[in-house]
Structure 1
Amino acid sequence: MDLLQLRYFRTVARYEHMSRAAEELHVAQPSLSRTVARLEADLGMPLFDREGRRIRLNQYGAIFLRHVERALSELDDGRRAVREARDTGLGRVAVASETLLTITPALGSFRAAHPRADVRLHQSDAPEMDRRLRTREVDFCLASQPLSGAHLETVELAREEVLLAVPYGHRLAGRRSVTIPEVADEPFVTTRRGYWQRALLERLFAAEGLAPLISCEGDEPGASQDMISAGLGIGLIPAVSRQVGTHERVPVVWVALDAPDCERRLTLAWNKDSHLSEAAVAFREFVTSTPFMSHHLPLPRRTESAPGGA
């Protein structure tokens, strides 16, 4: 048993598909199949169930995968620690976030304060963030929905109201607040499943025994306001969007949504047992020592409303 076998096994287990795993690893599929077969022979137990060309990780493979991931993660941490001891900089900090707009101001402020830090940013939905944390591809995740697990440490950074954004001229543009039943027939601009906007939208509608009508869905939560402004639907937008200048670049009308827990909670999550570089430790201290929203521009004093609206 060697490291190459373990890394190949982990990739095949992730995809449960030999061709995709071989493409990811940049190796020939027959060579990959032989390597996995040798590992199974060494263990004396098949790790995959095979049905024709399809493979599925079996119960023995799932048990072995948990240990392989821990072992490879420890080795990766060791390599990083050695590199950081060698380098003159602070090392690397890698962060995953559902939307780049939320974390960009904080990362910009951190880079200005720590110019020697090597900062990496990844956009990921919730399942991908969980995977990146488990495989230690990232040090931190900035999540707008719960990430849980015994391996995680979390701290809440901010809590903010989520508003309903509608285009100018919309029938609701003059309202101060609306209820979920009042927008039940409205087309919504939102994200695909896995992102916080979609999860919140479906939760609010489900509480009323309803399901939202989706007109547009995408992978970038920050693009929703552009589509709403263009008249493609209405949507849920966090209050911070009114603080970072998008209210001027992408004009919409803000309406309060009269629904319980219509808010976003920003949480920083990391693996409690992971090695953190000096840069990562500095980043965690930076974003947790001051109110997170202070990294954004001040809230504008005026409130947008439709012409002639109340």
Structure 2
Amino acid sequence: MTILQMRYFLTVCRLQNITHAAAELHLAQSTLSQAMQTIEEETGLNLFLRSGRTIRISQDGQKLAQKVTVLLREIDVFEENVREMGNRHGKVSLAVPQQQASLLIPRLLSIFQKEHPEIQLDIVESYGLEAARLVREEKTDLAVVNYDGSTLPDLHYHGITSRPVKFIAWPGHPLARKGCITLEEASQFPLVLLSEEFYVTRMLLRTFAAAHIEPNIAYFSPHLSTLYSLLRTHTAPSILFEPAVASLDGLVTIPFDMPLSLTSCIITKKNRQISKDQRLLIKFIRQQLLDDWATPSS
């Protein structure tokens, strides 16, 4: 007996009239009659005492109706619990690395929240590698990272755009007027870099090592704001993912003479259901990054 048949059966029991029950259920009378006959055949019970169009519930029918009522109540509770679980997906947790935070967080809190006030955002600013770990450990639903091609097997990487990694200095720096520079030229100056928790730094150190070049690293910082301060005070140049400094004035970005880039992507956990709200957020972030990529850079 299906759940739908159970509900049909209880309606017939309550009204004790096939015609009235069919009208309430918006069914053809023949369809409902066939459904009741099927139940009797499947259970082997005579559930109804028929007299023309009038029916009465047999003793077996009454016993079955009591059991079906209890079972449907349990099913209703189960369905309500499932709905509540679905409603909790109205809260979406997101990890955003510092290099994307200045671009994405203002747009998430203004544009996205205005378009979807029913979705509560829980945003964590983190390092790139930490963001991946948060998704892997299911502490956040998804993360935006600028990754270097290295992946973890239980995570899914939804690639969006690739942007260059550039030498960042200021007007008046010896390399500021060059159209592009080499790794060797960059290594001649004391550099301030993000800590190795960032994909950009991991990629840079591998690239320098592969070229057998020893960079002159003056300082590693876990905070992008510290690098901004050192750049603005002309203390030392840096090498960063280009969008990280797109909104800053008074700096010069110089490309390298070799391909050096990171890929912006959204990370989700493999084999984990992506809710409707999460899909809306992923779509929004993807579009924001694509729009940013389409904007001419300096």
TM-score above 0.5, yes or no: yes
State the 1:222 CA deviation: 5.3
Mapped to 2, the partners of 1:283 and 1:228 lie a distance apart of: 33
Counterpart-to-counterpart distance in 2, 1:208 and 1:147: 19
Return closer, same or farther for 1:86/1:207 CA change in 2, 3 Å cut-off. closer
Question: 2:113 aligns to what?
Answer: 111
Identical aligned residues as a percent: 16
Contact 1:96/1:142 (8 A) holds in 2? yes
CA offsets, 1:272-298, max 9 Å, x none?
22244432122123334x362315894
Q: Conserved in 1, the CA contact under 8 Å of 2:104 and 2:288?
A: no
What is the distance in 1 between the residues matched to 2:253 and 2:150? 29
1:235 alignment partner AA: S
SS state at 1:162 partner: strand
Give me the TM-score of the superposition, normalised by structure 2: 0.63
Superposition deviation, residue 153 in structure 1: 1.8
Q: Specify the alignment match of 2:155 in structure 1.
A: 152
Distance 2:86 2:265 in 1: 30
Name 1:141's counterpart in structure 2: 143
- Alignment check: 8 A CA contact 1:93 1:277 kept: no
Q: Secondary structure at the match of 2:157?
A: strand
1:114 deviation in Å?
A: 1.1
Partner of 2:172: 169
Partner of 2:265: 267
What SS does structure 1 have at the residue aligned with 2:122? strand
Q: Which amino acid aligns with 1:103?
A: L
1:285 is matched with which residue? 283
Taking a change above 3 Å as real, the CA distance of residues 273 and 106 of structure 1, as seen in their structure-2 partners, is farther
Deviation (angstroms), 1:202: 0.9
User: Quick one: distance in 2 between partners of 1:167 and 1:141?
Assistant: 32
Match of 2:191 in 1: 188
Q: Which runs of 5+ in 2 are unaligned?
A: 1-80
Gap change, CA 1:298 and 1:222, over 3 Å in 2: farther
d(CA) in 2 for partners of 1:200 and 1:150?
Answer: 19
**Contact 1:225–1:237 (CA<8 Å) still a contact in 2?**
no
Superposed, 1:38-57 pairs within 5 Å as: none
Taking structure 1 as reference, are residues 160 and 252 closer, same or farther at Cα in structure 2, changes over 3 Å only? same
* Residue deviations 1:52-109 (CA, integer Å, cap 9, x gap): xxxxxxxxxxxxxxxxxxxxxxxxxxxx96644456xx61111112212243255243
The 1:297/1:104 distance shift into structure 2, 3 A limit, reads: farther
Shift, 1:186, TM fit = 0.8
Match of 2:134 in 1: 132
Kept after mapping to 1: 8 A contact 2:91/2:120: yes
| 1:294 maps to 2:291 | yes
What TM-score comes out, normalization by structure 1 length? 0.61
Between structures 1 and 2, the one with greater helix share: 2
Amino acid at match of 1:107: L
CA distance in 1, matches of 2:204, 2:115: 37
Contact 1:162/1:238, CA 8 A, preserved across alignment: yes
Check conservation: 2:163, 2:293, Cα contact below 8 A.
no
Higher mean C-alpha deviation, range 274-283 or range 171-180: 274-283
Does the C-alpha gap of structure 1 residues 164 and 81 become closer, same or farther in structure 2, counting only changes over 3 Å?
farther
Counterpart Cα distance in 2 of 1:253 and 1:101:
19
In structure 2, the residue corresponding to 1:170 is in which secondary structure?
coil
Query: Closer, same or farther in 2 for the Cα pair 1:148/1:106, shift >3 Å?
Result: farther
Residue 233 of structure 2 aligns with which residue?
A: 230
What SS is found at the alignment partner of 1:177?
coil
Give the paired residue count: 214
Pair 298,137 (structure 1): closer, same or farther in 2 beyond 3 Å: same
Contact 2:132 2:267 in 1 (8 A): no
1:192–1:218 CA contact under 8 A, matched in 2: yes
Q: Does 1:258 align with 2:260?
A: no
Aligned pair in 2 of structure 1 residues 255, 148: CA closer, same or farther (>3 Å)?
closer
Contact in 2 for aligned 1:158/1:291 (Cα 8 Å) = no
The aligned runs of 1:194-233 (5 Å cut-off) are: 194-221=197-224, 223-233=226-236
Residues 221-263 of structure 1 show CA distances to partners (whole Å, capped at 9, x for unaligned) of: 35423321211211113332464x31x2xx112222112x311
Shift of 1:299: 3.5
Change (3 A) 1:212 1:268: same
Where does structure 1 lack aligned partners over 5 or more consecutive residues?
1-79, 304-310
**SS of corresponding position for 1:257:** coil
